[in-house]
A and B are shown apart, each in its own frame.
Chain A
Amino acid sequence: MSVMAFIAGINPVAASGAVLVLVGLWGVLSRPNLFKIAVAFSVMETGVNLVILSVGYIRGRTAPILDSAADARSASARMTDPVPQALVLTAIVIGLAVTALMLSYAVRLRTGGGDSSIESYGEEKW
């Protein structure tokens, strides 16, 4: 197996999603700043969404929307898997809600006289 075949075997969307998950995980685990942790969670979410999306992708097929490229009869033969796409649509919205809530907690801690570093909240430290 040559190097080219090895590279061609990589799914670019899943690979970049995996990289984003790892970057986000590193940020969540090693950054002390609460705002940066929230951003890292966002990055990780994006990565997870990309990985889920790539699982349902089928090479050479079109989006699961009926149009001139695929009609109702040829739908299941010419379209990609719609279930991961519907899941990711849900995940994006929930992710936004979680991010907004995390950021407002961080803002409240900061303006309530607290620190924006997670080190100052003893029970959260590991």
Chain B
Amino acid sequence: MMRKVMVTLAIIGFAFALLPLAFRAGVQAEPGALATEYLETAPRELGAANVVTAIVVSYRGFDTLGEVAVLFVATAGVGAMLTRKRLGPAAVGRRKPATEVLRTATGLLTGLIVMFGAYIFMHGHLTPGGGFQGGVVIATAVLLNVLAAPESHLAHGVMTAVEALSGAAYVAIGLLGAFLAWGFLDPRVMPTGSIGSLVSAGTIPLIYSAIGLKVGAELSGIIEALKGDRP
């Protein structure tokens, strides 16, 4: 009883805290000074059509490096906890084989989905999307394959290699920016090109491609670990 009262009070308190936001959010007439600065300088200095990408990869690139590290640690944690040895043999039940429809569709769709994911992270500086979104799309292709062939395993070595190499490439491109341009993760190592073309915005597409591959490999690792039969 006491507990219910406390929960109700906590929810009412949160509701009061959120109430002004429901009315005041989105009524500002102009972006703040920082946002205006980003909107004006990102296209001019970095040649990036997508300002959000310019912020994520360049202006706040160090945060994104930390974010990728958090994702890596979480993947390692999930992988360490959900091994067959820890879960015990009873955890892995007998799996039904996939139906004909699912297997055929998987064969047809896997290549297309991976290609779509690569398209999303390569065009992250031009269109909505980027490394994280493209990586998730690639991981859905892995999920489809896991559903179609439940007994199969990911090539663990290949996944580790992709993840490690793309992570190293991310840091290496960042260091290039520190030595050849104006700071760590500065994309102006390469010419910024003209806004809107695929080869533009300096190293932003390269960094986002590395992030896309890394996120795709990590999420595929989580999907594989959640199957629960990793040795």
**A76 part of interface (Cβ distance < 8 Å):** yes
A85: Cβ under 8 A from any B Cβ: yes
Could you pull out 24 A-B pairs where Cβ atoms are within 8 angstroms? A11-B21, A11-B23, A11-B25, A13-B26, A18-B18, A18-B19, A25-B11, A26-B7, A29-B7, A51-B18, A51-B21, A65-B127, A66-B196, A75-B51, A76-B39, A76-B40, A81-B32, A83-B31, A89-B52, A94-B70, A100-B75, A108-B81, A111-B91, A112-B86
**For A25, what are the chain B residues with a Cβ–Cβ distance below 8 Å?**
10-11, 14
The residue among B52, B70, B126, B225 with the most chain A CB atoms within 10 A of its own CB is: B52
A21 touches B14 (CB 8 A): yes
| Interface size grouping (class) on chain B | 35 or more
Pairwise interchain contact B11-A59, C-beta atoms closer than 8 A: no
* A104 and B225 contacting across the interface, CB-CB below 8 Å: yes
Within 8 A of A (CB), among B40-81: 40, 43-44, 49-52, 55-56, 60, 63-64, 67, 70-71, 73-75, 77-78, 81
Which residue numbers of A lie inside 8 Å of B, CB to CB? 9-11, 13-15, 18, 21-22, 25-26, 29-30, 51, 54-59, 63-67, 72, 75-76, 79-83, 85-86, 89-90, 92-94, 96-98, 100-101, 103-105, 107-108, 111-112, 126
Ordered nearest first, which 3 A-B pairs have the shortest CB separation?
A97-B74, A14-B25, A18-B18
| Contact assessment for B71 and A97 in the assembled complex, using a CB-CB cutoff below 8 Å | yes
A26 touches B11 (CB 8 A): yes
- Footprint of A on B, CB under 8 Å? 3-4, 7, 10-11, 14-15, 18-19, 21-32, 34-36, 38-40, 43-44, 49-52, 55-56, 60, 63-64, 67, 70-71, 73-75, 77-78, 81-82, 86-88, 90-91, 126-128, 130, 132, 195-196, 215, 219, 222, 225-226, 228
Are the C-beta atoms of A59 and B56 separated by less than 8 Å? Answer: no
Contact assessment for B77 and A101 in the assembled complex, using a CB-CB cutoff below 8 Å? yes
Chain B interface main SS type: helix
Decide: A111 and B132 in contact? CB cutoff 8 A. Answer: no
Q: Give the contacting residue for A64; candidates B14, B19, B52; CB below 8 A.
A: B52
**How far, in whole Å, are A111 and B132 apart by their CA atoms in the complex?**
32
Tell me the smallest distance from the CB of A59 to a CB of chain B, in Å: 6
Contacts of B4 in A (CB 8 A): 30
Question: A105, B51: Cβ atoms under 8 Å?
Answer: no
Kindly name the residue among B26, B127, B130 whose own CB sees the greatest number of chain A CB atoms within 10 A.
B26
